[in-house]
Amino acid sequence: MKVFFGVDIGGTGVKFGAFDQNGQLIDKWSILTNLSDSGQKIIPDVVKSINTYIARKEGLYNIGGIGMGIPGPVDKKGYVKTCVNLHWTEFNPVEELKKEFPDVAIAAGNDANVAALGEYYRGAGKEYSSMMLITLGTGVGGGIVIDGKVLLGANGLAGEVGHISGGIAETEKCNCGNVGCIDQFASATGIVRIMKKLLNEQDGFSKLCNKEKFTAKDVCMAAEQGDELALQCIDICMSALGTGLAFFSHAFDPEVYVIGGGVSRAGGLIIDVIKKAYLKRLFLIDKGADIKLATLGNDAGIIGACMLVMNGE
């Protein structure tokens, strides 16, 4: 039987998924990322892990393809100019894997784009032909899939939604140098930043008043329990994202926005606010795209990486 591997390479761990010919997950496992030697041990570790898996199946499985998600920009041929998280510079993981598996189809893509592909085929986007995934983590990332293809753009910049700025009042600078980026609000870092601001400037009561340190999760949980300032914080942060989504609808009008990443665990609380701000900014149409929560969680990366190579992209 042919098996396809979806490999999600991150700065701390490498996740593996083994899939059958229909793209159904058979097995999954993970290993730690070895960043020593400028990240040059990562691909040999991937090779070893896949070979060990195949050997354990005693000739029953052979490799149909290997897809990889990389936490940085990747061009169509798999070339990575720099990937800070993996310590790679001017490296091509596809060519490296090809040396070990010369007859196997191998593909690599940016991890957010790969996760978008996963949600598109197997998750919240599967009923739609065009979709945009927005991941709300430490930063804000995203990927665009139209008719089953990831939109890369001329420079691989498409879907890098975190640093779209405009339409949001802000004076503080984002780490990219701009002012008023979506990242400054809708990321976990952004939520904590806005909450601190509110605690300093507003009189309203919050259970986070006396806390030295808190996380975006704490803010979301407080908001769920009706905490006045936390609700205000979520309103500011997710309205900024909703405003951003209206930009995208006016640019390429996707059928659905899928919201993923750690912050999305806040669920309905954030979706309602995003929707309200989104609809307020829409022009010409009154309904707009659907806005849904991602459904694959941490598996989006391995599933998408498998789809990437299965679809021969």
**Site residues (CB under 5 A) for Zn ion, limited to 129-148:** none
Residue 269 CB, nearest distance to Zn ion (Å)? 25
Q: Which of 4-12, 71-79, 177-185, 301-309 is the region at the interface with Zn ion (rule: CB under 5 A)?
A: 177-185
Per CB under 5 A, 98 contacts Zn ion: no
Determine, following the binding rule CB under 5 A, whether residue 176 of this chain makes contact with Zn ion.
yes
Q: Exactly one of 66, 174, 234, 294 binds Zn ion (CB under 5 A); which one?
A: 174
Q: How far is the CB of 157 from Zn ion (least distance, A)?
A: 13
Does 193 bind Zn ion (CB under 5 A)? Our answer is no
Query: Which of 66/181 has CB closer to Zn ion?
Result: 181
How far apart are CB 241 and Zn ion at their closest, in Å?
A: 14
Give min distance, CB of 44 to Zn ion, in A: 36
Binder among 94, 144, 152, 181 for Zn ion (CB under 5 A): 181
Q: Select 176 or 209, whichever has its Cβ closest to Zn ion.
A: 176
DSSP per-residue codes, the chain? -EEEEEEEE-SSEEEEEEE-TT--EEEEEEEE---TGGGTTHHHHHHHHHHHHHHHTTTS-EEEEEEEEESS---TT--EEEEGGGTEEEE-HHHHHHHH-TTSEEEEEEHHHHHHHHHHHHSTTTT-SEEEEEEESSSEEEEEEETTEE---TTS-TT-GGG-B-SS---SBPTTS-BSBTHHHHSHHHHHHHHHHHHHH--S--TTTT-S---HHHHHHHHHTT-HHHHHHHHHHHHHHHHHHHHHHHHH--SEEEEESGGGGGTHHHHHHHHHHHHHH--S-SS--EEEE-SSGGGHHHHHHHHHHHTT-
Q: Which is nearer to Zn ion, 33 or 135 (CB)?
A: 135
Q: With contacts defined by CB under 5 A, how many residues of the chain interact with Zn ion?
A: 5
Residue from 178, 232, 295, 311 touching Zn ion (CB under 5 A): that is 178
Residue 46-65 contact track with Zn ion, rule CB under 5 A, x = bound: --------------------
Contact set with Zn ion (CB under 5 A): 163, 174, 176, 178, 181
